[in-house]
Amino acid sequence: MSSIIDRIRLGMQIFMIILAGILFFVGVVQFNILFVIAALVLALIFGRLFCGWLCPLGFYTERILGKLKRDKELPEVFKSKAFRFGFAMIFITALILLWLFSPIDRFWIPFIIMGAMFIFATTFALFSFDKAWCAYTCPWGVLSGILGKKAPYNLGIKEDCVGCELCVEACPIDGVPKDAVKNFHQKEKEGYEEFETRCIRCLKCYEKCPQDAIGVVGSGED
């Protein structure tokens, strides 16, 4: 049975899909570019919040591809920072060149972008796990992670963590809390430890934590 938080997230994701349809219907065919801008602005404050709560492609990977129930390890090459940042740069450069020099009518470019990301996300899910694209390769997710590195509001491990790693098992982004839990206990539970920048703020870890040891960390912490 879905939790209250998950039902709210689902509602927000559906709202964004409806909003995309409305914007397209009224002639704002570049609505996906507006969504990218919103994701990057939010990242400056809350990290990858857009990815976990608002992204239509995130809805597709989680709610539809998630039914595939595949759980294979993604090859290490796709996890490397070199690949992730390199792919993001190539993707964005190709997008800019397509916009500036392509003979294709610019009306179709947003749909080409969405189609390409849809194909990439599906392919990654078929050969690994449902949110593999979101976890490692989505160029907007990579940029949001970079911008969110110094965000004032992040999720992380706080006091009372017992190291059970239920949060790691609950995470859909390949066990994001794992390093934070390890580092936190190596510091003998002093202060707090932020999750890495791939965290999409879905709060599944928060819901599974029996100690209430996961919360907002960063700005305002002692």
Looking at residue 74, the DSSP 8-state letter turns out to be: P
Count of CB atoms situated within 10 Å of the CB of 148:
25
The pLDDT tens digits of the residues spanning 118-155 come to 999 999 999 999 999 999 999 999 999 999 998 999 99
Q: Are residues 94 and 48 in the same domain?
A: yes
Range of the domain at 20: 4-147
Please tell me the distance from the alpha carbon of residue 181 to that of residue 157, in angstroms, as a whole number. Answer: 7
Tens-place pLDDT, residues 47-97: 999 999 999 999 999 999 998 878 888 899 999 999 999 999 999 999 899
Place of tokens 């809805």: 59
CB 195 within 8 A of CB 176: yes
Q: Dihedral sign, CA of 61, 169, 15, 1?
A: positive
Q: At 58, is the secondary structure helix, strand, or coil?
A: helix
**Residue ending a domain, choose from 147, 175, 197:** 147
Both structure tokens of 108: 């179709």
Instruction: Please say which residue of 89, 119, 147 terminates a domain.
Output: 147
Q: Are residues 183 and 139 in the same domain?
A: no
Is pTM beyond 0.75? Reply is yes
Count of structural domains within the chain: 2
Pair of tokens at residue 146: 């970079």
Residues 35 and 48 in one domain: yes
CA dihedral 27, 141, 10, 66 (to 10 degrees): 110
